[in-house]
Amino acid sequence: MHHLRQAKERGEPLTMLTAYDALTARIFDEAGIDMLLVGDSLGDNMLAHPTTIPVTVDEMIPAVRAVSRVARRAMVVADLPFGSYEASPQQCLATAVRMLKEGGAHAVKFEGGAHLAEHVRLLTRSGIPVFGHLGFTPQSENLLGGKRVQGRGQEAASHLVADAHALADAGAVAVVLEMVPAPVAERVTEVLRVPTIGIGAGAGCDGQVLVWTDMAGMTSWSPRFAQRFGEIGEALYGATRTYARAVRERTFPAPEHTYEK
Ligand code: KIV
């Protein structure tokens, strides 16, 4: 929390990536990423669900636990999946407690604005740091009519700013802004005393988050806002093809991979 506050004060950009397992979390942690988000994007990225909506708490917990076990430096933030927090502040607290107790997370994130201020307040009073999530909120994509930029136009932008204020006033330690016009994200960043973490929200946020599979080029398609900083999917495909060929041609295992006694 101290680092988050300091980063905002000093204007030092914060880095966040999603992580869903120990293997990748260890790499991201060692590479110096500030925050690892065990996102409910686990659903579409790892579990082959069409959206994040089907993801359950029981599916999230092992992922949170794996990431927490290897994170030495990064803050681990666990997403609360759809249906696990909206009904009441008490439901939200119960799910968040599981993420901390069973998963080992340091903080939780959930989607929604002012109507969830009481949820944020209760968790904060209970000692659980909360990340808000505004703009395009994937768990509401059925209501929003698909993956669409949010906060366009005066009224929608003012609404978004008011939501961000409500979350921060209730105790949220940071607010994720997803698919929001850059000037709106800049306005929120300016008026909020806690950091904003953008995804598809321009360069004016206090930090950036990407889904790691988009960042590393694991898939053939990635969203417009996500730069591919590597082509790991292609590299993995190539390694797999080379391995399969070596086995079929009996060039693997070679003598140096073989125990003679
Ligand atoms: O679940 C997730 O990956 C997220 C990011 C898109 C912020 O919530």
* 175-206 per-position pLDDT tens digit: 999 999 999 999 999 999 999 999 999 999 99
Mean pLDDT of the chain: 97
Provide the 10 A C-beta neighbour count for residue 183: 12
226 with 239, same domain: the answer is: no
**Structural domain boundaries, residue 260:** 232-261
Q: What is the pLDDT of residues 12-26, one digit of tens each?
A: 999 999 999 999 999
Number of domains, the chain: 2
Average pLDDT over residues 75-88: 98
Return the active site residues.
178
Q: Please give the model's pTM, rounded to 2 decimal places.
A: 0.97
163 with 71, same domain: the answer is: yes
Contact predicate 212/23, CB 8 Å: no
In CATH, what number is assigned to the domain containing residue 94?
3.20.20.60
259 with 151, same domain: the answer is: no
15 with 143, same domain: the answer is: yes
Average pLDDT over residues 43-66: 97
104 with 221, same domain: the answer is: yes
Expressed in angstroms and rounded, the spacing between residue 57 Cα and the centre of ligand 1 is 15
95 with 174, same domain: the answer is: yes
User: Which residues, 6+ apart, have CB-to-CB distance to 126 below 8 Å?
Assistant: 93, 96, 97
Question: What residues line ligand 1, using a CB cutoff of 6 Å?
Answer: 18, 37, 39-41, 79, 176, 178, 199, 209, 211
69 with 179, same domain: the answer is: yes
Contact predicate 137/85, CB 8 Å: no
181 with 203, same domain: the answer is: yes
CA distance 202 to 114: 23
Residue with CA closest to ligand 1 atom 8: 39
By three-state DSSP, how is residue 191 classified? helix
102 with 119, same domain: the answer is: yes
Provide the 10 A C-beta neighbour count for residue 46: 16
How much is the pLDDT for 33?
A: 98
219 with 137, same domain: the answer is: yes
Average pLDDT over residues 60-68: 98
How much is the pLDDT for 1?
A: 87
pLDDT band, residue 8 (cuts 50/70/90)? very high
Q: What is the pLDDT of residues 209-250, one digit of tens each?
A: 999 999 999 998 889 999 999 999 999 999 999 999 999 999
64 with 127, same domain: the answer is: yes
Average pLDDT over residues 148-160: 96
Per-residue CA distances from 131 to 88, 190, 256 (Å): 17, 18, 51
How much is the pLDDT for 13?
A: 98
